[in-house]
A and B are shown apart, each in its own frame.
Chain A
């Protein structure tokens, strides 16, 4: 089955840039979606199909995908960005897979 690996945690200083990686075999050939989940809340889609932002998601959130790594970038990090972040792909073998999740802390 297909697996997606994320770092357990990422720390970022207020106003700086956080990068969250999502590793998977040839993930660059797949569409990657990213979700933000704050404590006690349902997940929210923040990036779809590698680099697209749903309406209402700040431009500070961006995504890229190439080779074996997809990346979610949070620019000018704010305290409100503290959350767990999950990547997700559709793969013919599984078919839906979530990453292991990354906790983002804003210092």
Chain B
């Protein structure tokens, strides 16, 4: 069974750094792209970026380029999304999802990030 399991909710202060994770299982982790999607409170889905764990090829949405870093460790089948300096506007739910020719076919349960002083 394909599963993507994300790390737990985080509460951070502005200016702090953060790295959240997404662990894949039940399939060949290096053979599919993993994408990250933001959903701000009461808003729609926004694609942030995508990584191919097989060779770490990474693409970013222009809206998020330079704002976050996406990485992966194929040895432990885990993808990451990180911030070096959080802002209150980063408060959102973040989803990882497996991407292929058939779209985002499997999703993680989401990680809620709250940034507040």
Contact = CB atoms under 8 A, between A and B. Distances in A.
Contact of A48 (B50, B102, B110): B102
Interface string A86-107: 1010000011111111000000
Interface in B68-117: 95, 97, 99, 101-105, 107-110
Contact of B110 (A33, A42, A52): A42
What secondary structure prevails in chain B residues at the interface with A? strand
A52 B105 CA distance: 12
A54 B45 CA distance: 20
Contacts of B95: 42-43
A1 interface: yes
B44 interface: yes
Interface residues of B, number: 22
Nearest to A99: B44
Nearest to A84: B44
Nearest to B107: A42
A98 B46 contact: yes
A83 interface: no
B45 A43 contact: yes
B47 A96 contact: yes
A10 interface: no
Nearest to A34: B103
B31 to A, nearest CB: 18
Given A35-B103, A86-B45, 11 more contacts: A43-B107, A44-B107, A45-B103, A48-B102, A49-B101, A88-B45, A88-B47, A94-B62, A96-B47, A96-B50, A96-B99
A-B pairs, 3 with minimum CB distance? A33-B103, A101-B44, A48-B102
Interface of B: 35, 37, 44-47, 50, 59, 61-62, 95, 97, 99, 101-105, 107-110
